[in-house]
Amino acid sequence: MDQSPAIVNVEQVSRRFALDHNQARSYVAALDHASFAVEPGEFLAIAGPSGSGKSTLLNLIGCIDKPSEGRILVDGVDTSRLDSSRMTTLRREKIGFVFQTFNLIPVFTAAENVEFPLLVQGVGARERRTRVAEALESVGLSSRAGHRPDLLSGGERQRVAVARAIVHRPALVLADEPTANLDTRNATQLIDLMRDLNQRLGLTFIFSTHDARLLEHTPRIVRLCDGQIESDTHTGAQLLAAQGASHD
Amino acid sequence: MTKFLLLAFRNVFRNRRRTLMTLLMVGGGVTGLLLAGGFFAFMFHGLREMTISNGLGHIQIFTAEHFQRDEDRALSTGIDNWRQAAATIRTGRHVRGVAPRIDFYGMVSNGSKSSVFMGSAVDPAAERSLGFTARLSSGRDLDPKPDGEIEALIGAGLARSMGVKVGDGLTLLSMTADGALNGVDIQIVGIVNSGIAEMDARYLRINLASAQRLLQSDRVTNLVVGLDSTEYTDQVAGELAPRLNGMAQPLVLKKWIDLATYYKQVRTLFSGIFLFLGVIVFFMVLMSSVNTLLMAMFERTREIGTMLAMGTPRLWIVVLFMLEATLLGVFGAVVGVAAGNLLGVALNASGLHLPPPPGNTSDMPFRVLFVPGLMIGSSIMVIVSLALASILPAIRASRLQIAEALSHV
């Protein structure tokens, strides 16, 4: 790992949810004093059983929720100090999202869905066309550009979602259980695609999963249990060695 | 912006059944307003033309004094050189004719009984050329060039009161312009039934020249101007006013609308009724649209959450929802205008008639006029209604908590 500054710094972050709005002291801790850093270009999995706090952690890193305690720095910016408008700008410019249920806009074609983040950013039409074509090409869906989501398979929809997440060249791509609605073959293909984009384009990926089979090719795994980090495992060296041996 | 508009457009037709129901509701409202408003416009038009053709004319010319003081003697505020004024007016564009008139009053007697009358002296040929005809229940109209006795039309109530019929004679007594009492014998040639009992109990009409002889004056009370069409009234009035300013005696010009009190009362009443209908339709569309748009918002909660997560400004979400509602309003208005016009054509072709209105004996045809202003107004009304209805759902959508919205099922 080089000495470049971390793209994400999670520092003693907790997130508590009130159980009863009338009783402020009654709450549940979805995340409890979690700390870790993510370097640019990393491919990181957040693993753990359902309810372990994976989605909460991704929401906090993705600036769609705020920690109850601690702070998160994204690309050097302390997100806990940002107002709603600046959070929106940060999400728009720095982060790409992939969701468990794809969350494509059903009335838009695949290309239009991919184009949407660029529209929000105010990118010109010609530039948008070029980038959409590149993004769809990179996920192998150029031929399906004109299809609406209901005419695509689950795997194809999620690849469109990945293309949408990377089209504006974010500093960070967050994927919350991206394979949960896919069969094993499509799930493996999607993880391979994300890994390929990570290596080819140098994009930082953080994704959550509770499927142990998908973690086999993941160089770093942060394991959560009951809102606490149970382990933070770097397997990059072993993976590189394994890949090197297979090439030999 | 084009893509954003496209998104709004496609969202409108996302749930086709619901959109269809909304379009039917909005379109139905517009159709109802067009038919009601079109019928009212027909009634207004009919009443307007009836008022004008019953003798009011399109424009009337008086002396300025006529409106400043009551006459102390007959025709003391009348028009002196009315023939010159009439000739000047006749040269104007779209002027069909000019009819001089005298309003006078006095006593009418059959020898044993007397009664008050309200007289109107006319030039029968001029009246006829303008299409002004008395509503006779018996007898005939005045002869333009009578020889011998003075002909008269009297109201049905006055005839009953005096116990006379067509062919009988009466004596008129009136004050002359000099303040002396003068009298003439008349022969009844027709009985008038205007439908207004109060008027028929006092009404009497004689030839202009006979009245001038009775009143010992060459003046007339006013000049009634008839035009080719009511639509020219403002134009002709605008052209005539400066020309009349050149007359020795100050004259003023009154348009038919200034004199048509009954027409204005009816129009005000029905306009109020129509406004009330409009308000009902407005709120009906508003309330049902709020419900529909809220349902659409709840259905799209996760999608809105996704858009917000991707950094879409919250204002965009507000604009998107309002744009969708406005588009729905536009489509509803188009459907409503099309349906309203088609139904209007069908109703007009059906030959439908309504029972006679008060004071009339014949059925009233049911017609719907196609009023562009009404179509535009109704359309704007429903579009604004839809846009307003979308404010609450739009604001709710824009204020969604992203994390909660993304986990919405």
Per residue in B248-287, pLDDT (tens digit) is 888 999 999 999 999 999 999 999 999 999 999 999 888 8
**A67 shares contact with chain B (CB less than 8 Å):** no
**B16 shares contact with chain A (CB less than 8 Å):** no
Residues B19-28 have a mean pLDDT of 92
Cβ distance of B310 and A89 shorter than 8 Å: no
Per residue in A81-105, pLDDT (tens digit) is 899 999 999 999 999 999 999 999 9
Interface test with A, best of B2, B4, B13, B310 (most A CBs within 10 A): B310
Answer whether residue A62 shows pLDDT above 60: yes
Assess if residue A25 is contained within a domain: no
**A115 shares contact with chain B (CB less than 8 Å):** yes
Set of chain B residues whose Cβ sits within 8 Å of the Cβ of A64:
308-309, 402-403, 406
Cβ distance of B306 and A108 shorter than 8 Å: no
Quick one: DSSP state of residue A52?
Answer: S
Cβ distance of A106 and B14 shorter than 8 Å: yes
pLDDT exceeding 70 applies to what percent of chain B? 99
Long-range contacts, stretch B262-266, CB < 8 angstroms, 24+ apart: B262/B51, B263/B44, B263/B47, B263/B48, B263/B51, B266/B43, B266/B44, B266/B47
pLDDT band at A247 (very low <50, low <70, confident <90, very high): very low
Answer whether residue A26 shows pLDDT above 90: no
pTM equals 0.78
pLDDT at B190: 95
Contact assessment for residue B157 and residue B200, using Cβ atoms and an 8 Å cutoff: yes
pLDDT at B103: 92
Give the domain CATH number at A156. 3.40.50.300
pLDDT band at B245 (very low <50, low <70, confident <90, very high): confident
Cβ distance of B308 and A121 shorter than 8 Å: no
Quick one: DSSP state of residue A142?
Answer: G
Cβ distance of A121 and B311 shorter than 8 Å: yes
Residues A33-41 have a mean pLDDT of 94
Assess if residue A174 is contained within a domain: yes
pLDDT at B40: 93
Q: Give the structural domain span for A212.
A: 40-64+83-247
Set of chain A residues whose Cβ sits within 8 Å of the Cβ of B406:
64, 99, 103
Per residue in A178-227, pLDDT (tens digit) is 988 888 888 888 989 999 999 999 999 999 988 777 788 789 999 999 99
pLDDT at B324: 93
**B35 shares contact with chain A (CB less than 8 Å):** no
pLDDT band at A2 (very low <50, low <70, confident <90, very high): very low
**B4 shares contact with chain A (CB less than 8 Å):** yes
Domain count, chain A: 1
CA atoms within 13 A on the CB side of B384: 11
Q: What is the mean pLDDT of chain B?
A: 91
Cβ distance of A103 and B316 shorter than 8 Å: no
Per residue in B160-214, pLDDT (tens digit) is 999 999 999 999 999 888 888 999 999 999 999 887 888 899 999 999 999 999 9
Interface of B with A in 67-96 (CB under 8 A): none
**B319 shares contact with chain A (CB less than 8 Å):** no
Answer whether residue B71 shows pLDDT above 90: no
Residues A55-59 have a mean pLDDT of 94
ipTM of the complex: 0.89
**B296 shares contact with chain A (CB less than 8 Å):** no
A-B CB pairs within 8 A amount to: 66
**A122 shares contact with chain B (CB less than 8 Å):** no
Cβ distance of B3 and A99 shorter than 8 Å: no
Of A107-116, A125-134, B175-184, B324-333, the poorest mean pLDDT is in B175-184
Cβ distance of A92 and B311 shorter than 8 Å: yes
Answer whether residue A241 shows pLDDT above 60: no
- Nearest Cα residue in chain A from B301: A103
pLDDT at A22: 62
> CA-CA distance, B86 to B282, in Å (whole number)?
51
Joined together, the tokens standing for residue B369 give: 């006029």
**A184 shares contact with chain B (CB less than 8 Å):** no
